[in-house]
Structure 1
């Protein structure tokens, strides 16, 4: 086993678990580091690891996944005859100490010996992701990360889908994928240790990071941009043109559909329902309030500041 036991998790509080989690990269972080996670970006993860963003609480699906873990483990043993032993420890790779693993369990493979066991639950809508030999990319990266930490040659992953469909798969160790993971995770952890963010992307996390890092501009200050700015400006302007084009196409389709519906509130065709419903809401007329009650307006008005971004032709 190429892993070191760092601490027991048997009586560890949630707060202590979070503190240890920030000290390295766990299995559920692997897909985020690789930029293949549907719910979190590398910048968001970096902000969590560097205490610039609170850890995001697990959603309802993750909560029930944890609650049903024992049930999935028991059913796996019933169907395969293989006992699953719990691992009440936080593990780390012997060579790369930032690589952590909090395993659901281990079991004995007849050929490869000790192997990882991972329990999952999934929505019925995601049944297709578990067909035949396939499984979601984030889980494949997670168990390969665990194999990188432990040195094990395989992993069993069992899943309860939609509350009534049970499947399990065996995944062999992939040395090429593990080499890639170690490199990407090493690069990411260098960003954490140096407090330099990973390459920014188009997510809200990157927007938030820049707004907090550079909240105000220095009046009339200028800078000569590097040559790498040119393709980014081209990318920005092209995207703006496409947004304008698609916005018009969207509005045209909406207008024509409204014309078809007339005074009707709901229209249907095949598997689609179009709703054009009358709504009412009250809004504060701030302009009138400011004109007629300036003192009251000033008392309750909130002043906000932001930096407006634009690209224009040089004069």
Structure 2
């Protein structure tokens, strides 16, 4: 128990009890979606899942391996920081704001301070800045600030293992202004859940997936849609076709510029890479991942 929050219990991540503890509230893994900052979840998809209108999602290999590696990363952090006792924790609820739920990976207890420890794994270093700074992807920043605000703590450490061998640590201090942004967005989202008012349909892939799941059956009937929507859909198809053509041309020009080289860079930034073709096929071009943002938290 802390002055700011009360411990609800300990639940297996993704279990029915874990989801039940979040009913009527927003957890740290959800706040980035509420803000429109999550690469995995949209406001629309989260709203429908929390209202029980869509499946909450299943495990994948990345999530399973992340959990398997969590203990190893936590143990390594503890070895590097004898000044802290690294402790497992559970699900917490803020006393004054019951909608504010937190389930940090670990809590750190020192002689003079307490802190949150976030544990991450990543395939590559894109989005991760200089170790020791707070330069982490914005969706993880939103998560860790949510935990700090829920618990009433003032700092967090992030331990990340990149590519299976590159261990880094980051330090994120509490920011009252950003925390206020998180609270406001979460409160508005909770109000929309209670009123039954879903967010607007957006461009996120998770939104499209949830809408597909909302109507799994097909009835052999016609539905009249608005002319504006029909025209916008057709225009989007035409734009997509044109964009695909421009992409092919640009890719051909990059391949031509590369010649036999493997990687294309611009001002030190990776742009694309040539990869071997399957069988007897010639090499093709694959874009380099775009760096995730590392800015301050704000609603999208």
TM-score normalised over the length of structure 2: 0.72
Larger fraction in helix: 1
Cα distance in 2 for residues equivalent to 1:105 and 1:121: 15
Partners of 2:250 and 2:208 in 1: CA distance: 31
Q: Is 1:114 the equivalent of 2:114? A: yes
In the TM superposition, 1:61-210 aligns within 5 A as 61-108=62-109, 113-123=113-123, 125-126=124-125, 129-132=128-131, 133=133, 134-207=135-208
- Find the aligned partners of 2:192 and 2:204 in 1 and give their Cα distance: 18
> CA–CA distance in 1 between the matches of 2:107 and 2:206?
36
CA-based RMSD of the aligned residues comes to 3.8
- The equivalent of 1:298 in structure 2 is none
Partner SS state of residue 129, structure 1 = coil
- The CA distance in 2 between the partners of 1:49 and 1:174, in whole Å, is 28
Report the CA distance shift for 1:234/1:110 in structure 2 as closer, same or farther (over 3 A): farther
Query: 1:53 maps to which residue?
Result: 54
Residues 175-184 or 27-36, more deviating:
27-36
Could you give the per-residue CA deviations for residues 35-64 of structure 1, whole angstroms, max 9, x where no partner exists? 111122111111111111111123212212
* Alignment size in residue pairs: 262
TM-score (norm 1): 0.68
**CA 255–31 in structure 1, closer or farther in 2 if over 3 Å, else same:** closer
2-structure distance, mates of 1:118, 1:28: 11
Partner residue, 1:5: 7
Q: 1:180 to 1:41 in 2, by over 3 A?
A: same
Aligned mates of 1:254, 1:47 — CA distance in 2: 38
Partner of 2:261: 270
Asked if 2 retains the 8 angstrom alpha-carbon contact of 1:22 and 1:48, the reply is no
What are structure 2's unaligned runs of at least 5 residues?
A: 263-273, 282-300
Q: Deviations over 1:258-314 (max 9, x none)?
A: xx9xxxxxxx843225859899xxxxxxxxxxxxxxxxxxxxxxxxxxxxxxxxxxx
Relative distance call for 1:276 and 1:96 in structure 2 (3 A) is: same
Does the aligned pair in 1 maintain the 2:108–2:114 contact within 8 Å? yes
Residues 171 and 278 from structure 1, CA distance in 2 versus in 1: closer, same or farther, beyond 3 angstroms?
closer
Q: 1:164 to 1:251 in 2, by over 3 A?
A: closer
The answer (yes or no) to whether the contact 2:11–2:18 under 8 Å persists in 1 is no
1:27-38 alignment, distance < 5 Å:
27-38=28-39
**Rounded Cα–Cα distance in structure 1 between residues aligned with 2:162 and 2:5:** 31
Q: 1:151-200: CA deviations, max 9, x gaps? A: 11111111222222222222110111100000111111112222221122
Deviation larger for 71-80 or 100-109? 100-109
